[in-house]
Structure 1
């Protein structure tokens, strides 16, 4: 009797149409899945171009000792909830800091040397010499050398009497240095040639045109009576979000429980109003945007690029201890703006860290 059943065969996935493969590749919001997709075969690799990757959710890079950037770098993936390990060259004597796309700032303090480093690929780009004390990155755009995006650092003069804002333009291959009497803050913001500096003592926000090097606006802080009748203690961030500048205040201290954290958010209105002067407007929603905050800075992405992730939310670091005598540990948390509720995520990095949008460029 002839066998009537056909033998099952393993599908040949390499014959899928290129246009279908491109659609699938564009739906991979975690770079590790994108890498695995490209590794299947030559056809899949050619359909998932490194120069045109899908929008990527940030990874959270575990804090390393300031002067010992060596060994493996550990990342927490928001998409998978997994810990990912990437070998790193030995950069002992350097610190590595984010903000926030593709490349991080690698700084050698003894020799005042700055470089851009892609921690995933190991690509390193040496920047010109810059004499600046206590530098912090404020903005490192996506693939800054290829795209021409400016690199922005802040710090102080050698005598710490003035604040220094330094901008590196890849086309000119040199730093532009702006000195101000105020001290710049690592949670300041840069957007479209304007630098937004928050003064801790007064709460004022200076808006500096980085082309003319002039202060064009001084915006007073929002009145305290708009914040439930009480002064807010905590941390203030200036964040560019969908073309707006937001003032994001985290009401927190190390003894407050995660559930008791609160955020207060304001949008900068540079148009006439409130006596014709620029002012802060309290808002209760940031729409489809997601804010990512760490100890140094913050940035914003749209949830529309990431299926399963909700907008109107904030991912942030919460430092917590049970007792004033205990050293604080960090918790990575998500805050729902509508519900005014925070919850911890399953990230084990107790020393904190920084966000980076991963890239293979």
Structure 2
């Protein structure tokens, strides 16, 4: 059988190149694929990378550390990736990350939105409350207008957001001090409160449109996690519990109850328990945030599953035992897909290879 010359490889039809790159298991392989030649680069645009498991961000710890690089673990390829952060900076990566960006707090004075894959940096206005140094930042997608940064204070329960490059500063929901983590979809925030109700808030007017009661039959006293996530245009709420009613000791000791938000007359909402999330996989991080992705055979994703991280304190070794777990909504089974290093498992980031202004 004759060996194909380099010229013949470069002449593969674009539709075939597209099919091949969609089956690549990892963003690193996608970048290598595009580097082969010009025709392969044209057949694999940066705006259309293959779907994959998100990368797990290395936990930086509670203190500022001088580092010039970030480290990520790709479960799809089983590799660690090191991304250079540019000049000398101190990065505090204890906040949520998504949409290809992470939040960096430099010298406790400046807050930045940073894309480690494109080196794009956007300075953010200082957080409106000093106690928000103990808060959680979250990056979400605001449709075609780019990214939105949400900041929730874990102490004062204040809640605010900003659109980098568009707004003059933070939009603050100052009239309420009982809001926890939430999600964003279609110009609205969906936020759980301390009383376990759910607020539907217009992002432009900051007005509360609807207050949805908590699921009536749920026991929140033993819940280990309460997540809101937008999935295929639907708003889902997942409550995480230990099977024996106490603190879960192992990865198999968890189960989830999943609810879907139904709007009855456009103004009244209720949570309806569901037994499947269809062709979707949910991801929850250590900070209470969640997002949805479609399964991809190359990445090993399974539909109708929840991916979460289990952390257990090992007092003998004075370290944390971490593992990435997968909960099947269909049969309630928990699989530990892999063990994580002590510094991994804090949050996720989905590699974004395009700048926000492209």
TM bin, normalised by shorter chain, reads 0.7 to 0.9
Matched, 1:303 2:303: no
The residue that corresponds to 2:341 in the other structure is: 349
Give the direction of change, closer, same or farther, for the CA distance of 1:255–1:135 in structure 2 (3 Å limit): closer
> Of 207, 220, 223, which residue of structure 2 is paired with 1:233?
223
> Contact 1:148 / 1:170 at 8 angstroms: preserved in 2?
no
Count matched residues: 342
Greater relative contact order structure (CA < 8 Å, 6+ sep): 2
> Contact 1:81 / 1:347 at 8 angstroms: preserved in 2?
no
RMSD of aligned residue pairs (Cα, Å): 3.1
> Of 39, 43, 46, which residue of structure 2 is paired with 1:47?
43
The residue that corresponds to 1:100 in the other structure is: 98
Matched, 1:329 2:321: yes
Instruction: Mark the structure with the bigger radius of gyration.
Output: 1
Q: TM (normalized to structure 1)?
A: 0.83
Matched, 1:192 2:186: yes
Give the stretch that moved more between structures: 278-287 or 85-94.
Answer: 85-94
Q: Which runs of 5+ in 1 are unaligned?
A: 1-5
Matched, 1:250 2:243: no
> Of 102, 117, 121, which residue of structure 2 is paired with 1:120?
117
> Of 78, 82, 88, which residue of structure 1 is paired with 2:79?
82
Flag as ranges the 4+ runs of structure 1 deviating above 6 A. Answer: 322-326
Matches within 5 A, 1:1-361: 9=3, 11-12=5-6, 13-66=9-62, 67-68=64-65, 70-89=67-86, 90-92=88-90, 94-95=92-93, 97-108=95-106, 110-111=108-109, 113-132=110-129, 133=132, 134-141=134-141, 147-156=144-153, 163-168=158-163, 170-185=165-180, 187-200=181-194, 202-224=195-217, 232-252=222-242, 255-272=248-265, 277-296=268-287, 297-303=289-295, 308-321=300-313, 328-351=320-343, 352-361=345-354
Give the direction of change, closer, same or farther, for the CA distance of 1:9–1:198 in structure 2 (3 Å limit): closer
> Contact 1:81 / 1:346 at 8 angstroms: preserved in 2?
no
Q: TM (normalized to structure 2)?
A: 0.84
Query: How far is the alpha carbon of 1:195 from its aligned partner?
Result: 1.4
Q: Which runs of 5+ in 2 are unaligned?
A: none
Q: Deviations for 1:45-103, whole angstroms, at most 9, x for unmatched residues?
A: 23222233333431111211242262443222232233333333443154363331121
Give the direction of change, closer, same or farther, for the CA distance of 1:306–1:240 in structure 2 (3 Å limit): farther
